[in-house]
Amino acid sequence: MIKKPFPFIFLCLLLLFTVSCNQWGHYVSLQGSALGTTYAITFRTPEGAPSGFSDLVEQTIASGFKRINNSLSIYNNHSLISRINRNLTQETDSLFRVVFNKSMDIFILTHGAFDITAAPFFDFWGFGLKKRDTHGQDSLELIRQYTGMDKFRLEGLSIYKEDPRSSLSMNAIAKGFACDLIAGELSELGITDMLVEIGGEIVCRGLNPEKKYWRIGIDSPVDGNIHSGKNIQAVITMTDKGLATSGNYRNYYIENGKKYAHIINPQTGLPVSHNLLSVTVIAPDCMTADAFATAFMVMGLEASIGFLNQHPELGAYLIYDQGGVFKTFATDNITIEL
């Protein structure tokens, strides 16, 4: 299972309907649990689809989740990534290589703000596989010696470690990749209108049942806000894109009066502490959006805005705190309704 905080996004189009009909065909919604979170997939049955088409879709979705779980989940002891982390194999599969290469690209672009080798830091602070323990600063210094993308090398079909203590976690990109994978496989079945949501990350294509672009609600980043859709900050309309949100208001703990959030700076090993509360990124694919949403939460407000100004292929909606009041920044290339 690939676990991450509860979804940061509410689908305001009320996509949890069962079936609706119009001249575009039947829209069907499928819901369930997978990868340690929930999913909701809505699609329009293509014209001329055979009897039992929905069953075929369900089988396709289940197969996609199984492949991802067996490759990328650190919570599955028998997965490929778990065996790599335990130094049991150097062999990789196609899913692992796609995500690893994308992670390397974004690591370079963000100067290390996004780093899938930071898994030991998440364990250190109690946001990973292990329960939090009491550590001193020396332990962080030690961990820094075996983290960083330079500790891994992908050559052909094999991955090599510089240090056997190094480990990987693709949690900050895997759900986005899962959305892309499922959406791609549904497209191969002839589906052109769909919304794939997995744990809050989204791919949407075509049109919704109202023959309009899909509408995505962004939650207000109030601490402890675990109910998606209860407090909406904005609504974004989009299609043929991927969308992901990251924030520090749901997965955190307070110790001795200090808040420790699950967003970790891979360069320092410390939880981030700044005024950027929530980041929603829109990109050509959800894997890219997912990774950049995490990277921007590490980088902070000003650095993220500077990066976005240099990368018009990305859209973003940022929510930040200014003197106890929520303020927002949005790029010009996204459509906001509220």
Please, is 1 exposed, middle or buried when counting C-beta atoms within 10 Å of its C-beta (0-12, 13-18, 19+)? Answer: middle
pLDDT digits (tens, 9 = 90+) for 74-111: 999 999 999 999 999 999 999 999 999 999 999 999 99
Our CA angle for 158, 151, 276, nearest 5°, is: 115
Mean pLDDT (the chain, rounded): 88
Of the candidates 307, 286, 183, 204, the residue with the CA atom closest to the CA atom of residue 244: 286
pLDDT digits (tens, 9 = 90+) for 101-157: 999 999 999 999 999 999 999 988 888 776 665 555 558 899 999 999 999 999 999
**Sheet strands (E) in 136-240:** 152-155, 158-161, 194-198, 201-205, 214-219, 232-238
pLDDT digits (tens, 9 = 90+) for 149-183: 999 999 999 999 999 999 999 999 999 999 999 99
Query: What Å distances lie between residue 232 and 199, 228, 333, CA to CA?
Result: 17, 8, 21
What's the topology of domain 72-171? T-fold (1.10.3980)
Quote the radius of gyration of the chain (alpha carbons, Å).
Answer: 20
Give the number of C-alpha atoms closer than 13 A to the C-alpha of residue 296, restricted to the C-beta side: 33
Where exactly are the structural domains of the chain? Answer: 72-171
pLDDT of residue 249: 66
